[in-house]
């Protein structure tokens, strides 16, 4: 039987299990990437595993998130990361090189290879036909130590593209359409594989926008074929020798198919506070806009900056709009400077921000109170971009640029017609500026490297093995689609604490309930109860490590998002799902729950007694037998160390 693109790549990397949907598969990871906000934890764990040199073909450590450096903490982290990279055989990409996913796409991603990254948008490299998966730091540390990555085999959905995009409609609208159709839960347990005759009309940066934001559907990853378009991108990056053709066989079988006619798409917008609250821009046209942000790993390529410049050329921003851009990489800045796009943006009044995650993750450039902020980023979760009252709308670069000029949300097709602006078309330069001089190679004398740790880098808190029973109060009950930005917020005040679990734990659930931290400690820990898709969003394992530090023992919900579920297991927190979702209604914050260790099984029903109401709640744990052992051992680090003895 023929194979899909995903199956071809996975089959070549399968080291354990069978590729039957839902059953655990072990995948050999060729490449790893980390970024600084998750990287310090990942490398502390890597050090604790005790391997002398990374085992992956290529490991890259990027600095792109914590760039404000308002005191010693972020620079200390960066220095720690650089020392670790030098010592253990990792390429270091320092602050200023750009956003990890954009830079990886330009310089390191290779068709047919596998990549695991401690960032949920690692699937960006799927635009270059990689199986690229986001994971918690510990899973990346284990991959660096040569362990396979184990995950349930996903179902494979074909997103069949026909036609081609109309003027002023772009790749962001494709992924917003996918989100509109399948929602922020629709990709869980799936790979979204793009195919069909429309694929060839999309450039590599277009494809990367789509695979990047596939993360918002909850998908394990997204992938495009490797074709002549891929080859052209690699040629421009002086890496054509790394091209291999990877296309699905004619008789490949998919678990299901989504059909999208690119020609029929129109500019779309995702409203606060979820990326799937998608409507056509024209339905909200006229909404006054306070702020516009161009950039993020979703839309910061040369193509995107050029599209913005095309609309802005010879015009100035509306006086009511504050606009900024974070270009994706040094290469993008150099190209945009050379080609004139950068000057156009400056002339129109756009603020040139650093090449970093920046405003996407609330590191500056927050919206005003109740302000409307149009952003080309991928997430608009409550509080993510600086504070709770900011209303972030997710749009394409074209919608953002036209609206920045108009002062209100506008369909760029209407704007262009009125202003007499011709359609934008982008052709990738034959040869891009290649300058790898700021990638810092690992030391060839690792024994001479001493790792410097600033005072904010706290040792990993130990986690105890599970006792005979779990009991405690429900510390908090939350609803559906709770994100890791709710559980463990980021932003300029909290991100600098990423290397210090006791310090960052003070902010757990802060946007939902300011008393959570004190209550959890006062009660000696307990349970969390939630709805569907609990833990969607980022890969930050701090959303599991910090609650664990506060004594959270189990999380009982209707369903989990993939990466957070794995992070809970890795931190020794028991994930439970209701067998009957209506039981959710009968539990309240403050109820006392209890369950026995001896009742835990990866397949059977687990009885949780609500000691306050007397009810027995039937649950199961959505993890494998191995994962259950990990939880009983008090997390994966304990488990790995015990196996090594
Ligand atoms: C995000 O977009 O939420 C982040 C910040 O990049 C996270 C990683 C982190 O929390 O450090 C992600 O997507 O995994
Ligand atoms: Fe950075 Fe935003 Fe991309 Fe996360 S989503 S990697 S914060 S740019």
> What Å distances lie between residue 585 and 89, 263, 529, CA to CA?
51, 45, 10
The pLDDT of residue 643 = 84
Under 8 Å between Cβ of 89 and 53: yes
Q: What is the pTM of this model?
A: 0.98
Q: Is the CB of 36 under 6 A from ligand 2?
A: no
The label of the residue with tokens 């202003």 reads 419
Between the CA of 357 and the centroid of ligand 2 the distance, in Å, is: 5
The pLDDT of residue 267 = 99
Residue nearest to atom 3 of ligand 2 (CA): 297
To test the ligand 2 pocket, which listed residue (211, 297, 394) has its Cβ within 8 A of the most ligand atoms? Answer: 297
CB atoms < 10 A from the CB of 568, how many? 30
Report the candidate in 509, 478, 507 with the shortest Cα–Cα distance to residue 494.
507
Burial class (CB in 10 A: 0-12, 13-18, 19+), 612: middle
**Strand arrangement of the beta sheet that strand 256-261 belongs to:** 221-223, 190-195, 155-162, 256-261
Structure tokens belonging to residue 381: 């979760």
Give the ligand with the smallest distance to the CA of 40. 1
Between the CA of 540 and the centroid of ligand 1 the distance, in Å, is: 6
Q: Is the CB of 296 under 6 A from ligand 2?
A: yes
Q: d(Cα 97, Cα 99) in Å, to the nearest integer?
A: 7
Residue nearest to atom 1 of ligand 2 (CA): 357
Sign of the CA dihedral with 290 first, then 296, 299, and 300 last? positive
Q: Is the CB of 124 under 6 A from ligand 2?
A: no
Q: d(Cα 32, Cα 255) in Å, to the nearest integer?
A: 29
Between the CA of 56 and the centroid of ligand 2 the distance, in Å, is: 24
Q: d(Cα 104, Cα 329) in Å, to the nearest integer?
A: 10
Bridging pattern class, strands 291-295 and 322-326 = parallel
DSSP for 520-572 reads HHHTT-EEEE--TTBTBS---THHHHHHHHTTEEEEEES-B-HHHHHHHHHTT
To test the ligand 2 pocket, which listed residue (63, 121, 384) has its Cβ within 8 A of the most ligand atoms? Answer: 121
DSSP for 169-235 reads --HHHHHHHHHHHHTTTTTBTEEEEEESGGGGGS-HHHHHHHHHHGGGGTBSEEE--B-HHHHHHHH
Strand partners, 114: 131
Between the CA of 119 and the centroid of ligand 1 the distance, in Å, is: 5
Burial class (CB in 10 A: 0-12, 13-18, 19+), 527: buried
Burial class (CB in 10 A: 0-12, 13-18, 19+), 315: middle
Report the candidate in 16, 17, 4, 98 with the shortest Cα–Cα distance to residue 60.
98
Report the candidate in 378, 430, 328 with the shortest Cα–Cα distance to residue 104.
328
| Three-state DSSP class for residue 19 | coil
Give the ligand with the smallest distance to the CA of 356. 2
Q: What is the DSSP letter of 623?
A: S
The pLDDT of residue 644 = 76
Between the CA of 413 and the centroid of ligand 2 the distance, in Å, is: 28
DSSP for 566-601 reads HHHHHTTPEEEEESSGGGGGG--TT-EEEEEGGG--
In the chain, which segments carry CATH 3.20.19.10? 469-644
Which residues, given as ranges, of the chain have pLDDT below 70? none
Under 8 Å between Cβ of 628 and 600: yes
The domain defined by 268-419 folds into Aconitase; domain 3 (3.30.499)
Between the CA of 120 and the centroid of ligand 1 the distance, in Å, is: 6
Residue nearest to atom 3 of ligand 1 (CA): 538
Q: How many helices and strands in the chain, by DSSP H and E?
A: 21, 26
The atom of ligand 2 lying closest to the CA of 326 is: 8
Between the CA of 334 and the centroid of ligand 1 the distance, in Å, is: 26
Structure tokens belonging to residue 248: 């699905």
The atom of ligand 2 lying closest to the CA of 119 is: 6
In the chain, which segments carry CATH 3.30.499.10? 5-264, 268-419
Domain 5-264: what homologous superfamily?
A: Aconitase, domain 3 (3.30.499.10)
Q: d(Cα 556, Cα 606) in Å, to the nearest integer?
A: 11
Indicate which residues carry an active-site annotation: 64-65, 119, 379, 538, 540
| Three-state DSSP class for residue 516 | helix
Using only the alpha carbons of the chain, give its radius of gyration: 24
To test the ligand 1 pocket, which listed residue (377, 537, 539) has its Cβ within 8 A of the most ligand atoms? Answer: 539
Torsion of CA 344, 348, 351, 355, to 10 degrees: -20
Q: Is the CB of 300 under 6 A from ligand 2?
A: no
Report the candidate in 170, 161, 134, 129 with the shortest Cα–Cα distance to residue 149.
134
The pLDDT of residue 251 = 97
**Strand arrangement of the beta sheet that strand 351-352 belongs to:** 278-280, 268-270, 391-394, 372-375, 291-295, 322-326, 351-352
Q: d(Cα 553, Cα 605) in Å, to the nearest integer?
A: 18
User: What is the CATH number that goes with domain 469-644?
Assistant: 3.20.19.10
| Three-state DSSP class for residue 10 | helix
**Residues whose beta carbon lies within 6 Å of some atom of ligand 1:** 37-38, 65, 119-121, 134, 361, 490, 537-540
358-386, pLDDT tens digit by residue? 999 999 999 999 999 999 999 999 999 99
Residue nearest to atom 2 of ligand 1 (CA): 538
Q: Is the CB of 378 under 6 A from ligand 2?
A: yes
The pLDDT of residue 224 = 99
Q: Is the CB of 119 under 6 A from ligand 2?
A: yes
Between the CA of 417 and the centroid of ligand 1 the distance, in Å, is: 38
Q: d(Cα 408, Cα 520) in Å, to the nearest integer?
A: 44
The pLDDT of residue 1 = 86
Q: Is the CB of 490 under 6 A from ligand 2?
A: no
The label of the residue with tokens 């920045």 reads 404
């Amino acid at each position: 039987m023929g194979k899909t693109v995903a199956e071809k790549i996975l089959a070549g990397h399968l080291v354990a299990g069978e590729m039957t949907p839902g059953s655990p598969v072990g995948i050999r990871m060729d490449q790893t990437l980390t970024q600084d906000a998750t990287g310090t934890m990942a490398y502390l764990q890597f050090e604790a595993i005790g391997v002398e040199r990374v085992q992956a073909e290529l490991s890259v450590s990027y600095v792109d998130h914590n760039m404000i450096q308002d005191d010693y903490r972020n620079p200390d982290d960066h220095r720690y990361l650089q020392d670790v990279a030098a010592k253990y055989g990792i390429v270091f990409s320092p602050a200023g090189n750009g956003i990890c996913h954009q830079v990886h796409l330009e310089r390191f991603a290779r068709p047919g290879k596998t990549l695991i990254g401690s960032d949920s948008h690692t699937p960006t490299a799927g635009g270059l036909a990689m199986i690229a998966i986001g994971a918690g730091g510990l899973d990346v540390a284990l991959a660096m130590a040569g362990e396979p990555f184990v995950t349930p085999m996903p179902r494979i959905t074909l997103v069949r593209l026909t036609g081609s995009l109309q003027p002023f409609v772009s790749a962001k609208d494709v992924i917003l359409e996918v989100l509109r159709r399948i929602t922020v839960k629709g990709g869980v347990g799936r790979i979204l594989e793009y195919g069909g005759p429309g694929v060839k009309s999309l450039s590599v940066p277009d494809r990367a926008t789509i695979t990047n934001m596939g993360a918002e559907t909850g998908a394990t990853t997204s992938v495009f074929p490797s074709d002549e378009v891929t080859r052209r991108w690699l040629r421009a990056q002086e890496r054509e020798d790394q091209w291999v053709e990877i296309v699905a066989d004619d008789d490949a079988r998919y678990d299901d198919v989504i059909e999208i006619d690119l020609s029929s798409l129109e500019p779309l917008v995702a409203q606060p506070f979820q990326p799937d609250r998608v409507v056509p821009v024209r339905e909200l046209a006229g909404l006054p806009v306070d702020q516009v942000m161009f950039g993020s790993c979703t839309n910061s390529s040369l193509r995107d900056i050029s599209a913005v410049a095309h609309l802005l050329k010879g015009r100035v921003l509306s006086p009511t709009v504050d606009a900024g851009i974070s270009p994706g990489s040094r290469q993008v800045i150099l190209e945009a400077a050379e080609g004139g796009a950068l000057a156009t943006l400056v002339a129109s009044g756009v603020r040139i921000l650093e090449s970093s995650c920046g405003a996407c993750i609330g590191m500056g450039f927050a919206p005003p109170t109740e302000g409307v902020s149009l952003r080309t980023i991928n997430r608009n979760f409550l509080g993510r971009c600086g504070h709770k009252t900011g209303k972030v709308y997710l749009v394409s670069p074209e919608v953002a640029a036209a609206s920045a000029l108009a002062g209100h949300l506008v369909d760029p097709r209407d704007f262009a017609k009125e202003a007499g602006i011709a359609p934008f078309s982008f052709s990738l330069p034959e040869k891009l500026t290649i300058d790898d001089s700021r990638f810092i190679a690992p030391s060839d004398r690792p024994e001479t490297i001493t790792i410097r740790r600033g005072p904010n880098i706290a040792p990993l808190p130990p986690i105890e093995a599970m006792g005979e029973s779990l009991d405690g109060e429900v510390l908090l009950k939350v609803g559906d689609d709770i994100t890791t930005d709710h559980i463990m917020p980021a932003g300029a005040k909290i991100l600098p604490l990423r290397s210090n679990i006791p310090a960052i734990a003070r902010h757990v659930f802060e946007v939902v309930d300011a008393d959570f931290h004190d209550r959890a400690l006062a009660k000696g820990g307990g349970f969390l109860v939630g709805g569907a898709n609990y833990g969607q969003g980022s890969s930050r394992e701090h959303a599991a490590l910090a609650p664990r530090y506060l004594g959270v023992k189990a999380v009982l919900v209707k369903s989990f998002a993939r990466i957070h579920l794995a992070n809970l297991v890795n931190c020794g927190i028991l994930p439970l799902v209701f067998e009957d979702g209506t039981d959710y209604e009968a539990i309240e914050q403050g109820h006392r729950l209890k369950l026995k260790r001896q009742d835990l099984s990866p397949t059977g029903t687990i009885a949780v007694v609500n000691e306050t109401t007397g009810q027995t709640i039937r649950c199961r744990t959505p993890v494998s037998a191995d994962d259950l052992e990990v939880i009983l051992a008090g997390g994966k680090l304990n488990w790995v160390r015990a196996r090594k003895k």
